[in-house]
Amino acid sequence: MPETARLQMGDKAVDLPVVVGTEDERALDISTLRAQTGYITLDDGYGNTGACQSAITFIDGEQGILRYRGIPIEQLAEHSNFIEAAYLLIWGELPTQRQLNDFSDLLTKHQALHEAIRHHFDLFPSNSPPMAVLSAVLNALSCFNPEFLRIDDENSFQEAAARLMAKVRTIAAYSYRHDRGYPTIHPHPDKKYTANFLHMMFSQPYKDYEPDPEQVRALDLLLLLHADHEQNCSTATVRMVGSSGANLFASVAAGVCALWGPLHGGANVAVVDMLEEIRRTKTTVKDFVQQVKDKRNGIRLMGFGHRVYKNFDPRSRIIKKACEAVLAKLQRKDPLLELAEELEAVALEDSYFVDRKLYPNVDFYSGTILRAIGIPHSMFTVMFAIGRMPGWIAQWYEARKAASPRLHRPRQVYIGPAQRSYTPLDKRG
Ligand code: ACO
């Protein structure tokens, strides 16, 4: 007998089906609630609303667990790489050597940009926000590939997905170099995904950039750790846009816009801004924490807290360790990393943060590792977008493949004026 939960509303009892996930998490299926009772549910910010059933990523926010397709993030971080993890997320299984080679070859094939796309960069003013450029150019890719906009065609999906994965880093590097007035560097056919990105960012026409292998590894790890995170703001946006039947290019361009905000992906920039401000103003860590705790100041400890994690975000621990390893390898110190560590130690002992279960999230240390790799501050959130691309693609695909994909369309409780008559202009005021 399938499990149900009974909702008693006055004399009326409604039995709601219970949906049970692989890890025994439970949800009430309220899809017929309004038809049966006239009521809807209200959940500001969707903190308690499951928008879909998904087989891609599992998070246990209380325990601090994250798995891609069942595999713990710690194991992937240790043994895998970004491209293999991307394959796993999109296709559901780890690739064989042959599948991995074919996938890598496909990405290499599509990594260059159409010349006309390259001219788009000339039309953006200098100092354009790189996330705006990224979103615009990703969306513009659809104009160059109209044959791959058929949303229910498997071949179209594969071609569009490969182009997005391959070109997102080329677009990112071109936008950076264009902004600086540097000549563009074409992707190198023999370089791997992450090394190729650094090549396009930092090589010169007369001299190849040779990053330390530890920096390449750390960046690849960072991309892997950002690759998916179930129904976060940008991924939910991608699924929402895709639910209208919009193509993959348009849907991920919308995801980039959602990621941009400082409460989501933009937090990696906000953390470094915050650390720099603390240093500039010579504020002590204790004083800064006091300022955060006093709500009248409206200051948040950026990089702390998470809608789902009420424990350590496992990614933040991995990133912190990797950041220390890169700096040790380069024999460098970063005063911002030391400051972040000090802030973390003070916050984790403070009842304000302990009581609210506020722990470091993925963004707390990602800015410091990006600094160690040499990525400029303006590009931090773009790096998050490059990492999140396979997750957006996988989630869009899963939603399109659902047995009966539905338009996402939340309801509301209207609290505006009751019906009233139109007042002609000369009778107002
Ligand atoms: N600093 C200080 N107080 C905080 C913080 C913070 N970083 N985060 C939450 N709180 C407090 C809130 O003021 C609230 O306090 P109250 O109960 O006294 O009113 C309580 O903790 C709960 O906070 P909410 O805002 O309700 O939590 P929510 O789940 O809506 O927000 C969020 C999660 C947006 C991530 C929040 O913790 C935050 O703003 N963090 C800083 C920004 C950040 O790091 N974002 C990146 C998140 S990870 C990602 O998206 C990739």
Percent of the chain with pLDDT over 70: 100
Q: Which of 222, 269, 307 has most ligand 1 atoms within 8 Å of its beta carbon, as the pocket-test mutant?
A: 307
Distance 359 CA to ligand 1 centre (A): 10
- Cβ–ligand 1 distance for 310 under 6 Å, the answer no
* Residue 1 pLDDT exceeds 90: no
Which candidate, 54, 59, 31, 400, places its Cα nearest to that of 240? 400
Chain segment 77-89, per-residue pLDDT in tens: 999 999 999 999 9
Backbone angles phi, psi at 4, to 5 degrees: -130, 165
Task: Give the ligand 1 atom nearest the CA of 313.
Answer: 48
pLDDT score at 258: 98
Task: Give the ligand 1 atom nearest the CA of 292.
Answer: 2
pLDDT score at 105: 94
Name the residues annotated as catalytic: 306, 363
- Cβ–ligand 1 distance for 172 under 6 Å, the answer no
In whole numbers, what is the pLDDT of the chain averaged over residues? 95
Confidence of residue 181 (pLDDT cuts 50, 70, 90): very high
The 57-60 sheet, strands edge to edge: 57-60, 65-68, 71-72
- What six digits make up the tokens of 103? 């996938």
Chain segment 4-42, per-residue pLDDT in tens: 999 999 999 999 999 999 999 999 999 999 999 999 999
Which candidate, 123, 391, 124, places its Cα nearest to that of 233? 391
At 262 the three-state DSSP class reads coil
* Residue 126 pLDDT exceeds 90: no
Task: Give the ligand 1 atom nearest the CA of 45.
Answer: 30
Backbone angles phi, psi at 14, to 5 degrees: -120, 130
Please state the three-class secondary structure of 210-233 as a single string: CCCHHHHHHHHHHHHHCCCCCCCH
* Residue 203 pLDDT exceeds 90: yes
Chain segment 351-365, per-residue pLDDT in tens: 999 999 999 999 999
- Cβ–ligand 1 distance for 265 under 6 Å, the answer yes
pLDDT score at 393: 98
d(CA 203, CA 105): 22
- Cβ–ligand 1 distance for 292 under 6 Å, the answer yes
pTM of structure: 0.94
Confidence of residue 239 (pLDDT cuts 50, 70, 90): very high
d(CA 103, CA 162): 8
Residue 5 forms beta bridges with which residues? 16
* Residue 332 pLDDT exceeds 90: no
Distance 302 CA to ligand 1 centre (A): 8
Instruction: Give the mean pLDDT of 160-181.
Output: 96
Return the DSSP state at 130. H
Residue type, 423: T
Instruction: Give the mean pLDDT of 229-233.
Output: 97
d(CA 221, CA 192): 14
Instruction: Give the mean pLDDT of 293-312.
Output: 94
* Residue 99 pLDDT exceeds 90: yes
